[in-house]
Structures are given as structure tokens and as C-alpha cells.
Amino acid sequence: MNPTLALAMELIRRPSMTPEDAGCQELLIARLTTLGFRVERLRFGNVDNFWARYGDAAPLFAFAGHTDVVPPGPLDQWQFPPFAPEIRDGCLYGRGAADMKGSLAAMITAVERFLADHPQPRGSIAFLITSDEEGIAVNGTVKVVEWLEQRGENIRWCLVGEPSCSAELGDTLKIGRRGSLNGRLVLRGTQGHVAYPHLAQNPLHAMGAILTALVDEVWDHGYEAFPPTSFQISNLRSGTGATNVIPGDLEMLFNFRFSPAVTVEQLQERTQLIIDTGLLNEEVKTGQVFQYDLEWNLSGMPFFTLPGELVAAAVDAIQAETGQPPELSTSGGTSDGRFIAPTGAQVVELGPLNATIHKINERVTVDHLERLSRLYQGILTRLLT
């Protein structure tokens, strides 16, 4: 059993569901302390984080990752217990195998081999580890980054170990992520009997044209490596469940995954204009006036790493290992890279295949773990020697 696989299995055995760390960080800290890293444990609220650094010189390369995992779901649907790692048919099964305990193990073993060859690198290496990535993410990486900025520690290059690949290891390198903007619309009508519609105001009927306009709107045409901004309705709730009652209210939850081609303010203003226009047309057509409440929650801003030293080193290391250059992508959901990139750091994401993340029987190919470790080592070698 190679060292990367052995460490990944040790991490999976710890049931670290957000925000619990379950001892994962102490396992990593022990390995890093042996190497000579200075470790600072950082607890914010109920979340454990740590910052570990080897060396004081610039430039600073940081690995970023999380020890927390999502809940396993129905245990009887797992082929093997989710926190009892099992190797079967060349795959390592367990919650967190791909997202992202396999990456954490690969980071550690990559650094161990790199420092054995280069005990005095050109610059410094750091680890920024949290147990609050899969949850609301308010006491994790974002707080550590604030703490680092107060101390004047500046990350130049950051590699986030999120599972990035689609079909083959190294086929995708994330160089950015779209922003995420959530909205909640409550349209207020008047409840009544379906036999007396003139005595009620049906918010579902008023919403029809608005929904069509929101879905058909072209918000932008994309930007650099970003696809066009997308609008999706995630929940639509109305009614009492009875067949003879006109609902009084309608609640719609929706989300924008947006590129740098459009601002948060523009999305908010255009959404409100579509709603106002739709309700005005409804008033002209039926004489009914509807009121509404519209709330917003920004989950994360988009970030984008321009071609530079980090992207070049990662592409070169991937091509040397796999024989093929990766696709440079900004697809997928949000990641903690959104907290690190605004500091001016170059940020990329590179990890194993993402096909089974957050699923029953999450797994990673055993061979990919050691190869991922070599990829990480190759990036370090290209940047710090």
C-alpha cells in the first residue's frame, strides 16, 4: 500500500461531517510538524481550521483544502460502510474519498517527497485547511484569509484540491469559478374559492409571464473561459393542497451562476425590472395589483486566474504525467477559492475525478491517488526550485 492511499484511508475512517473534523486535522498536523512546518490552530465559532507554513521567504505556495464531508445518506444503500474505507476492483470507497480526503493525502505525500529532495526551496509552502467548506462556510477559509491579511501574509500561488476532473485524471484544471447569487421572491395575492375567482388574486397566474421572461432572458454571452450566466429555479411553492382553493401567496427560490461579464447589481436590477414589468402587464390585463418581496443572498463572487506562473506550472506537470494538456475550465459550483482569489493570489483547482462526489458509494481510483501526488509534487518542483 503506497503512503498516499494509506493516509487517505486513515482520513476516511474519521466521520468528519461538517463542521466536525473528527481528528483529521491532527492527523495532518502530525505529518506536517515532522517535516518542520510551523502550525497554528485556528478555531472560529464551532469550526476547526489550521495554517501551517514551512519557510519564511517569498514566494508563498499554499495548498488549500477541507477535512469535512457531506452526510453519507442512507447507510443501507452503500456497498460498504461510508467511514470504513474499502478497496475493491481498483477503487477506494468511502465518504470523502474524492471530495476531498484523497487530495489531502496526495498533498501531504507530495510535500514529503518534495522536501526530501529540496529541503531549502525557493520560497515557502503552506497548508490552509478548514472543516467548514461543505456547510455555510462562514467560519472556515474566509476567516483564515482575513486572519492572514491582518498578519500581512500574502499567498502568491494557491492550489485547491477540489475534485476537478471528468473522465481521466488531469483532464481538467479549474482556473476560476462562476459567482453564485440566490434570490427569494414572495408574490402576494388573495386567497379565495376557485368558484369565485373575481374575489381572489391568483399569484400563480400572475407569475406565468414573469417566469417565461426570466427563463428566456439572455443575461450575458460568457467571458473568457466562462460559459454564459445561467438562471435556474430551485423551488416553487404555493397553495394549500386543496383543489378548490386559490392560493394567496407564491414563493420562488432561484439562483444565478454568473460570469464576470455581469455584475451582481445588474442581475438584481434586471430581475426586478422583469418582475415589475410582468406585474404591470397583469394589472393592465386584469386590473389586479400584486405586491411582492424580493430578497437576495450572495454566496460567492466569480474569480478567474489569468494565464501565468501557476497555470503554466500545473499544465506542464499534468502534461508530463498524463501525456495530454488539461482543459482550462470554470465550470462547477462554488469553492473556497472564491475567498482566496480576491487577495491577489493565483488560484487553480486540481483533484481527482468528480463523478461520485456527494453520492452513495463515493470512490476514487487507487492509482489516481499516487499519480495526483506526483502531479502536486511536479507543480511544486516547477515553482519552488
The number of beta carbons lying within 10 Å of the beta carbon of residue 14 is 19
Which residue's entry shows cell 450566466? 229
How far apart, in whole angstroms, are the C-alpha atoms of residue 100 and residue 160?
Answer: 10
Cβ neighbors of 34 (< 8 A, separation 6 or more) are none
- Phi/psi at 356 (5° precision): -115, 10
> Which DSSP string do the residues of 146-183 spell out, in sequence order?
HHHHHHT---SEEEE----BSSSTTSEEE-EE-EEEEE
Q: Is residue 68 flagged as an active site residue?
A: yes
**Which entry of 21, 99, 132, 133 is annotated as an active-site residue?**
133
User: How far, in Å, CA of 333 to CA of 358, rounded?
Assistant: 13
Q: Which residues contact 326 (CB under 8 A, 6 or more apart)?
A: 170, 171, 172, 173, 314, 315, 318, 319
Q: How many CB atoms lie within 10 A of CB 119?
A: 10
Q: For this structure, is 112 an active site residue?
A: no
Pick the catalytic residue from 21, 48, 68, 134. 68
* Helix (H) and strand (E) counts in the chain: 9, 19
Q: Which residues are catalytic?
A: 68, 133
